[in-house]
Structure 1
Amino acid sequence: MSSSYLATLQKDGFVVVPSLLTPAEISSLRSTATTATTRARTGSWPHFRTVPKQFPPWPSTPPPASEGGIWGVQHLLHPDMPGRTEFAKFYFSDKVLDVAGELMGITPGEGEGDEGERLVMELFNLLVAPEIKDFELRWHRDDIPSEAPPEEEERLLAAKSPGGRQSHAQYNLALCEDRSLIVIPGSHRRVRTETERNAAPYEAYLPNQLVVELKPGDAVFYDSNILHRGVYRAKEEGGEETRLTLHGSIGLKEGSGASSDGDSKKVRATAVLQHGVGAWVHRDDAAFGIGERAERMRANLVEMGTGEGVGYSLKG
């Protein structure tokens, strides 16, 4: 593992990890992800992200393809998700957890003993192409409202990444070629410029923006408060899936970001539990059966709560 990952993340706000998967793993996960997507498109899986809504909560019925349909499949680790074990083997794999751990300041193997697991299972979803109509996400930071004035924006950026590190790591892993994520390098460490602050929500170009290009098997880990947006190119209705990108996050149990009252765990719990994962992670049939570490990480998520009454980080 390259020791430069953290340095790159701190400088640019994102880091691309090439060839995280082998060709065989790409092929197998692509097949499993396609099945999950088909189920969501046809209403056989009730957890998805719907066009044109950007943030949760999402409707429980997928819109028709003529309106864009869905742009994501939620809860790949849910006990009722077909292919769950294959998804879980990737999510809890050393190749993912080692990179995530480095980016949060821990070394491989640290904190895995009987005294407890430092990493927390969080979210694992799938980003897909809408049908017929293109779909775009507006410029945003994941956990800082766009209406925050400069002083508040500066305070929140510093509080959520003290010492340049977040209390979680999130990533996109491409199973098809992916050019959907657009970022402004370095924006995770500063307030928005006047140009950025005054830009239209879906501004096609901002100074210094960069399209993150991923080949199948590549992953991008990124600071959730980098200024970014997504562009989802539509696919033909009923045609082959053109975007299958695994979108995951992994937390650090003790946390590192802080809110104004120091309640960092509450802030992170809202960001995670707003997606509904707390409704099923405690179930008796939610055990993964792939090793003790997965169960320790799941137990850490259970400790966060059920998600009742936590609200939502952003709206829209």
Structure 2
Amino acid sequence: MPVPIPHKYHDEINENGFTVIRNFLTPEEIDRYTKASEIIVDMARRGEIDSVRTTNKMFPPWPKNFSPDIWGVSGLLHPNLGEKSYEFHNLYGDEKMLNIVSDILQISKDEISMELLNMLINPLTDFELDWHRDTIKPEVTPEEEAEELLTYPFAGAQFNLSLTPDDCLIVIPKSHNRIRTEEERNKTIDSTRRKEFITNQIIVNLNPGDLVFYNNNILHRAKYNSKNKRLTLHGSYGNVKFGKSRAKGILQHGVADWLPDLKPQNENLNMMKSKLVDLAKEFEGVDVEFALDG
């Protein structure tokens, strides 16, 4: 008989839209990944990495690196980083991480697909993101919103893994499986109100080594304080059964351009890469467009 897959984290996300795992990393792992991350941040601020998130823009496509005032670095698995990315290969393919993903998506390890691994950092000037759902445009009708929220809610698993104290993420619990209230709709559609307080919002406070997984269509935003150092690894995994539903949100980041050159440093990453290669081939030559504007 097959061993049942645990479902603790799946159930928590299903109920609240997110789950927090405290002390996921050991002190030694925090130190190791922090050192690897600081090298990447220094390179990015010097303009040596093209794929960054600049403070004048919230969503892709971002312009190529032109300023050290950035709030994120994309493509931590990019082959151009060479050995500097190997620690991130280890993290992304770590068995304990994949065990959580398996729980969340209720699939076996060999059904998990590679998606994205990026980093969120403190910009040099304060910066805020608007309220949004990652793959549903704010202008959709209530009927369209309800349909999209119920389509493959466990097609993927998105996370933030903090290496420093992190209080940037703001969410509306339980907003991942219902249409917006009148207040929420007003404050996501009206461009002058997209950073306002929304009833029931909470800040997800993370300590170094804490991990949060969340449904990427929970209503959320982020507030970046330039004075507080932030090193948070931000990524996602996919359910290979529902790859097509994830294509726009993943391929919009340009991962298919460098995927063939990726040389995974562990078997798990190699296995997951093969799933994304298949998806990229299926959408080769197709304009997947961008999920959000801004």
1:268 is the counterpart of 2:246: yes
Between 173-182 and 301-310, the greater mean CA deviation after superposition: 301-310
Question: Helix, strand or coil for the counterpart of 2:72?
Answer: strand
Aligned counterpart for 1:57 among listed residues 38, 57, 61:
61
CA-CA distance at 1:201 after TM superposition: 4.1
The code of the aligned residue for 2:258 comes to W
Gaps of 5+ in 2: none
Deviations 1:62-82 (A, max 9, x none): 33x5xxx11100100011225
Check whether the contact 1:139–1:201 (CA below 8 A) recurs between aligned residues.
Answer: no
Question: Helix, strand or coil for the counterpart of 2:59?
Answer: coil
Check whether the contact 1:136–1:202 (CA below 8 A) recurs between aligned residues.
Answer: no
Q: Please, what TM-score do these two structures have when normalized by structure 1?
A: 0.85
For the residues of structure 2 that align with 1:252 and 1:59, how far apart are their CA atoms? 30
**How many corresponding residue pairs?**
282
User: Which position in structure 1 is the counterpart of 2:265?
Assistant: 289
Aligned alpha-carbon RMSD (Å): 1.6
Aligned counterpart for 2:230 among listed residues 232, 236, 243:
243
1:157 is the counterpart of 2:149: yes
1:204 is the counterpart of 2:196: yes
User: Which position in structure 1 is the counterpart of 2:85?
Assistant: 84
For the residues of structure 2 that align with 1:3 and 1:93, how far apart are their CA atoms? 19
CA-CA distance at 1:203 after TM superposition: 3.0
Gaps of 5+ in 1: 236-240, 256-264
Check whether the contact 1:181–1:229 (CA below 8 A) recurs between aligned residues.
Answer: yes
Aligned counterpart for 1:118 among listed residues 85, 105, 111:
111
User: Which position in structure 2 is the counterpart of 1:260?
Assistant: none
The code of the aligned residue for 1:245 comes to T
Deviations 1:239-298 (A, max 9, x none): xx700000010001111xxxxxxxxx4331111010011001112xx121322x221111
User: Which position in structure 1 is the counterpart of 2:162?
Assistant: 174
Relative to 1, partners in 2 of residues 1:15 and 1:311: Cα closer, same or farther, differing over 3 Å?
same
Check whether the contact 1:62–1:70 (CA below 8 A) recurs between aligned residues.
Answer: no
User: Which position in structure 1 is the counterpart of 2:206?
Assistant: 214
User: Which position in structure 2 is the counterpart of 1:30?
Assistant: 34
Deviations 1:61-103 (A, max 9, x none): 333x5xxx11100100011225211111011101111111111
For the residues of structure 2 that align with 1:279 and 1:288, how far apart are their CA atoms? 16
Question: Helix, strand or coil for the counterpart of 1:80?
Answer: helix
For the residues of structure 2 that align with 1:95 and 1:242, how far apart are their CA atoms? 27
Identity across the alignment (%) = 41
Aligned counterpart for 1:45 among listed residues 46, 49, 52:
49
Please list, as runs of the form range in 1=range in 2, the aligned pairs for 1:133-152 lying within 5 A after superposition: 133-152=125-144
CA-CA distance at 1:172 after TM superposition: 0.0
CA-CA distance at 1:2 after TM superposition: 7.1
1:14 is the counterpart of 2:18: yes
Q: Which has the higher helix share?
A: 2
